[in-house]
Chains A and B, each alone.
Chain A
Amino acid sequence: GQQVMQIPQYQHVQEGEDFTTYCNSSTTLSNIQWYKQRPGGHPVFLIQLVKSGEVKKQKRLTFQFGEAKKNSSLHITATQTTDVGTYFCAGSNGQAGTALIFGKGTTLSVSS
């Protein structure tokens, strides 16, 4: 079945450094979504990418969807302690009656 792989599993950075997490799917995706889960919290929807090669920005966060629609990345510029948490990508093949398949997530820790 469809699999979504995410790397790295953990990343520790100093505050102010950049951070990137990568997501790869075994199949072509209809769309990809990104979620953030703060420690002790639940996943919160950040964004969805639909088009091949699409790039979207949310302040210091940049999301990309690959040309082949099989990979995606989330880049955070100049991390802050508020960026701490686990970032999940989740893909869909777009077929009716299917659900998102989540990657295992990348847990980001930031030291000041």
Chain B
Amino acid sequence: DVKVTQSSRYLVKRTGEKVFLECVQDMDHENMFWYRQDPGLGLRLIYFSYDVKMKEKGDIPEGYSVSREKKERFSLILESASTNQTSMYLCASRVPGQGYGYTFGSGTRLTVV
């Protein structure tokens, strides 16, 4: 089975801190994604990457950046954490093309105080 591993399950950070959320997948998937999930808002796409060193903005990229230096790792960076970035962050990966679903990690619940 494909595994998508997110480095932290729970994280508490202070306002203004730079925060790194790490995601690693073990199946050589080209496509990787970062979503945030908030009650009543569903999953919203922050950034995605369809290859190493490639990145595309999603629907809500403001306040975030990403890094994809290696195929298996996709990092989400909060440049200066704010309380409105308190959320559940979900990383996903998939094989490109039709017919393949996303495999999600277990999520990181980030609280910014």
Residues of A within 8 A of B43 (CB): 43, 88, 90, 102, 105
A52 interface hit (Cβ, 8 Å): no
B45–chain A nearest beta-carbon distance, Å: 5
Given contacts A97-B56, A104-B40, contact A45 B45 (CB under 8 A): no
Q: How many residues of B contact A (CB 8 A)?
A: 25
- B42→A42 contact, CB < 8 A: no
Interface mask (B66-85 → A, CB under 8 Å = 1, otherwise 0): 00000000000000000000
Q: Find the B residue at minimum CB distance from A3.
A: B59
Q: How many residues of A contact B (CB 8 A)?
A: 26
A58–chain B nearest beta-carbon distance, Å: 13
- A1→B101 contact, CB < 8 A: no
Interface positions, chain A 3-60, Cβ under 8 Å from B, are 6, 9, 30-31, 33, 35, 41-46, 48, 50
Taken together as a complex, chains A and B put the C-alpha atoms of A1 and B44 apart, in Å, by 13
- B99→A100 contact, CB < 8 A: no
25 contacts between A and B (CB under 8 A): A1-B59, A6-B42, A9-B40, A30-B98, A31-B98, A41-B106, A42-B105, A42-B107, A45-B101, A48-B98, A94-B98, A97-B56, A99-B31, A99-B33, A99-B45, A99-B58, A101-B59, A102-B35, A102-B42, A102-B44, A103-B42, A104-B40, A104-B41, A105-B42, A105-B43
Given contacts A88-B43, A99-B33, 11 further A-B contacts (CB under 8 A): A9-B40, A30-B98, A41-B106, A42-B90, A45-B101, A50-B99, A88-B42, A101-B45, A104-B40, A104-B41, A105-B42
Task: Give residues in B with beta carbon < 8 Å to A.
Answer: 31, 33, 35, 40-45, 48, 50, 56, 58-59, 90, 98-107
Task: Give residues in A with beta carbon < 8 Å to B.
Answer: 1, 6, 9, 30-31, 33, 35, 41-46, 48, 50, 88, 90, 94, 97, 99-105
